[in-house]
Amino acid sequence: MESYQSELNPNTRILMGPGPSDVHPRVLKAMATPLIGHLDPRFLEIMDDIKIMVQKTFRTRNQLTFVVSAPGSAGMETCLVNLLEPGDEALVCVNGVFGNRMSDIVERCGAKLFRVDALWGSPVDPDQVKEALGSCKPKIVAIVHAETSTGVLQPLEEISEIVHDAGALLVVDAVTSYCGAEIKVDEWGIDAIYSGAQKCLSAPPGLSPVSFGERAVAALERRKTKVQSWFLDLTMVKNYWAGAQRAYHHTGPVSAMYAMREALRLVLEEGLENRFERHRQNHLLLKEGLEALGFEFLVREEFRLPMLNAVKLPDGVEDGPARKRLLDEYNIEVGGGLGDFAGKIWRIGLMGNSSTPNHIHQLLGALKEIL
């Protein structure tokens, strides 16, 4: 018998990597709901529900708030390709993999890239941004709120002011922080933001919540060229999400949207503040246990992400074999390092449904046996 002929039978994993996180049974159940059409009036209501809940979780009133029918990377690309035209200048703050990815996309847009580079594992300093803005006139400044590759939480309020003083738009990657730490889109003056479904929202991967503020919408409307991606072109996508006609653009991912709706409902039932506090408390519990085992955090305490714990491996612990044992013997997934940190750090996720004391006790128990 060929492998594909056998019944689907994955292991029951405990997901403590950089995402996906464990998904609540209600979300799994929602996905198993029989489908309706992507233009069915009932489905448009479901989209409306999702839009309202994404607004609430982003803390924004932005009308152009919606979900990209593809993973977080496509959400990143959505923000950049819609705001940039060939010849525009863009300043990207880079302190990890995802800042690099934004830089790459900026260049693919034909825009002129300027970079602010900070040490991986540290936040970007507002003064660096200010200085960089002295030698370029960017249309956008892009920055990562929660660097999944390093575990750094980036303070945004001061930088937002600097960016707006320079007449630029602020584009924010909130893939890992969304629904796990405070994001105040309106209060912080974020012009465009994208996230992912599979981190602290604990929905399955494949969708990306996005919101554009008024200034970003105005920039979109002032474009002289077509958006280079048809699939991500918001001048069309927005009519499917909010137009008077709800015009067909692409076929909406019905089942994934069922899951997204249920995951968002769970977030609002818990309450954002309670959810953030849960993520903070579990981070502290994990920290205590890991430090007792000889792990050191990569990031200075004040800039640590509670949901993505980047820790240096203790001497004598080999990355690959140790993670393999965790997976094979305990069904626990943690993430390895990326780029220069490969083999040197682990990225331990406590995201959404995976942010519980039970997860932590299982991991610490396993580590005590392995190390």
Residues 36-95 that bind a copy of itself (CB under 8 A): 36-38, 40-43, 45-46, 48-50, 52-53, 69-74, 76-77
Q: Tell me: does residue 128 bind a copy of itself (CB under 8 A).
A: no
x/- binding map, residues 169-208, to a copy of itself, per CB under 8 A? ---------------------------x-x-----xxx--
Angle at 336 between CA 71 and CA 193, to 5 degrees: 30
Q: Tell me: does residue 220 bind a copy of itself (CB under 8 A).
A: no
259/28 Cα distance (integer angstroms): 7
x/- binding map, residues 310-329, to a copy of itself, per CB under 8 A? -----------------x--
Q: Tell me: does residue 31 bind a copy of itself (CB under 8 A).
A: yes
Q: Tell me: does residue 371 bind a copy of itself (CB under 8 A).
A: no
Find the binder of a copy of itself among 115, 166, 215, 231 (CB under 8 A). 231
Q: Strand pairing of 169-173 and 192-194?
A: parallel
Cα 371 to Cα 9, 15, 287, 315, 325, distances in angstroms: 30, 20, 17, 10, 10
Determine the residue type at 88: D
Q: Tell me: does residue 251 bind a copy of itself (CB under 8 A).
A: yes
Determine the residue type at 352: G
Cα 234 to Cα 38, 47, 54, 130, 226, distances in angstroms: 18, 16, 17, 30, 10
Q: Tell me: does residue 258 bind a copy of itself (CB under 8 A).
A: yes
Candidate ranges 105-113, 115-123, 183-191, 280-288; the one touching a copy of itself (CB under 8 A): 105-113
CB of 310 to a copy of itself, least distance (A): 16
Find the binder of a copy of itself among 1, 12, 222, 244 (CB under 8 A). 12
CA-wise closest residue to 197 among 220, 176, 214: 176
Positive or negative torsion for Cα 19, 20, 24, 26: positive
Find the binder of a copy of itself among 67, 171, 179, 264 (CB under 8 A). 264
